[in-house]
Structure 1
C-alpha cells in the first residue's frame, strides 16, 4: 500500500461525475509545498475555481481535502514532504468527488482551505496548515468527524431467465488509493488492465456473466466490493492485486489466497493487514463488520463457501503454474476483508511482486498478461465443469436409489 505522490492512471479512460471522461474534469497542476516556521502551505494551479472542503482526522493523523472530480496532472518532481507534512496522495474518491490526503507527522490545524480565482477563469488551490497541540488537534478531529462513504456504482440488473454463471472480478485499489507504486507503475493500473482483459476472456466464451467492481480509475470501499459480490449472487469472486516487498526484491511469482481466521504464515498475515487498510488510505473511518457466526445456517454456508473457494484456489494454482511463474508457496490464506462474504466463493490473486524488477517487467507485459489471463480463464472453466459433473453424479445417484 503506497503513500506519497502518485498520479499513475490506467490506459483505460476514467469516468466520473455524470459519465464525464477524466479529461473533462478541472485540471490540477504545479503542486508546491512551502514551509514558513510552524506553517506549511500546499498550493496547486487549477484550470477552474472549484468548491473545497478540508478537515483533520486522527488515528492516523491526516488532513482530508475534498473537491469535485479533478484530473490531477502533477509534475513528477513535485516536493513530497515539508515540515510536519510527511506525505500526500490524491485521486478520485466517488463518482463526483476527488480527495487529497495529507499525512501528518505532528498535529496540525487547517488555517485556510480555498480555491481562489485568478485571471482568465483559472484558479489556485491553497491549503494552509499550522502546527497545533495534540489536545486541540483531537478536539478539532472530533468536531469535524465525517461519515462519508463512497457510493457503489449501479450495476445492470440481472436479466430474467439468465442461466450463465456470474463471476465478479475485483481489481484492487483505485482512485485515491494507488496500491503499491514502484518506478512510476501503480498497482491500481496493473490490476485494472488485468481485470479488463480477464472480463473479455471470460465473456468471449459466452458462458459467463462478468461484473467488475470497478472498470475505471475510481475508489471502491472494501465493504462495497463485498456487497457487489453478494448483491450479484456471484458464483465466484476474484480479487486481483500485485504486492511489493521492499526488503526482498528477489522474491517473485504469483500467489493465490483464500480467507481464513488464522493466516498460514507471517507474510500472509502482513499482506492481509495491509490490504485491509485500503479504506484508511482514502480517509474513511471504517472497520470490518464481522458476520454473525451464531446461526448454524450461516456457519454451514460459510464452511461450504470456504470449501468451494479452496477447490477453485487449487485449480488456479495448477493452471497458473503451468503458464506463469508462481511463488515458492503458491497457495496461502489469511483474514482478507474483501473475501469475507459467507455465501460467495472468493479468492485473491497476487499476480506477482512489483518490488521484483523481473516481475514488474512481466506485470506490464501484454504477452505475460495474456498467458496469465488464459490460465485464470481455464481455472474458471474447470471449476464450473467439475461442479456440473458433481451435480450430474448426484442426480444419477438419486435416480439409482
Structure 2
C-alpha cells in the first residue's frame, strides 16, 4: 500500500511562494516609508497651523482668528489620523512579522487597551487616544533621530499639557458625580487621577520647565527633584509619599482642572489608604511607627494646604471642629502633644464613616494604644495633672461611643 502521509512544504520553496515573499519584502518597507513621510508632512502642517493660530490671537480680526482656528483643528486632526494609520498599516505589520521594536510592540498593545474605553467612557477614550498618538510619534522621533526638533517639541509640550488638563477635568467631573455610588468606580477614578499626574510630571513637566518663559514653575522645581528620587519598585509607603507629592504639585500645575474639592477628596483617599497600611503593619512596631508618621505627614499637609484656606463649608460644625484641631495642633509644643491631637482627630473622623467600628476596628485599637503609650488614659473624671486635663476631658467626650 502506498504511504499516504501529509507532506509539509515550505511555501517559499515554490515559485509562487518566492514571488509572494519578494513582493511582501518590497511592499512592507515601502508602506512604512510612505506612512512615515506622510506623518512628517502632517506634523509640519500642524506646527505651522499652531504658530499661525497663536499669531492670529494676538491682534487679527475675529474672522482671521476663526479661519486660523479651523485650519489648526483640521491640521491637528489630519496629523493624528496619519499616526493612527501608521499604527494600523505599519506597526501592526511589523509586529505580525516579528520585526517591530520594543517601543512599537508596546505601542500596539497600548493602542488596543485604550480602545476598551470607547463604549463606556468616550471622553476619556478621546483624550487618552490623543495623548497616546502624540507620545508615540514623539518617542519614535527620539528613537530614530536621537533628538526631536525643538520647534516641534515646544508645540508638542503645549498640546500635551492642554489634553492632560482636559483629561483631569473629565476625572474631576466623574469624581463629584453623585449619580454614581459605586465605590469601585470611584476608586478607579482616584487611581486614574494619580496615574495621570504621574505621567504628566514624568514626561511633560521637564519640557514645560525647559521651554517656560516665566517663573511659573519655580515653586515646583524642588518638588520635581524630590519626585525624581522615587525610582525602581516602590513599597506601599513610598507610593503614598509619591502620591502626596503629586497632589501637592497639582495645586500649581492643574489649579482649574483639579478643583479644591476634588483635591480634598484625593487627600482623604490617601488618609484612608494609609490607615490600611497601619492595619497591615499592626504587629510590626517599626513599620507601624513609619505608617503613623506617614499619616501624620498627610494630615499636616492636608490641613495646611487645603483645609486652612477652604472658604465654603457645607457643614459649619465640621468647620469649627477642623479649625479647633488645627489651631491646637499648631500651638502644640511637643511632638507627643501633636500625636495625641492627631489620634483624637483621626478617631473623630473615623466615627463619621458608615459601619466605622467594623471597618476600622484595628485602626481604632492602634490609635487607642498610641494614646495610652503617650500617657493618656480613657477614663471618667479628670486627671490631677493640669497638662493632662485638656486631653482626658476631650477623650471622654469624643470616645464615649467608640470605646
TM range (shorter): under 0.3
Larger Rg: 2
TM-score normalized with structure 1 length: 0.25
- If asked which structure has higher relative contact order (CA below 8 Å, sep 6+), I would say 1
TM-score normalized with structure 2 length: 0.25
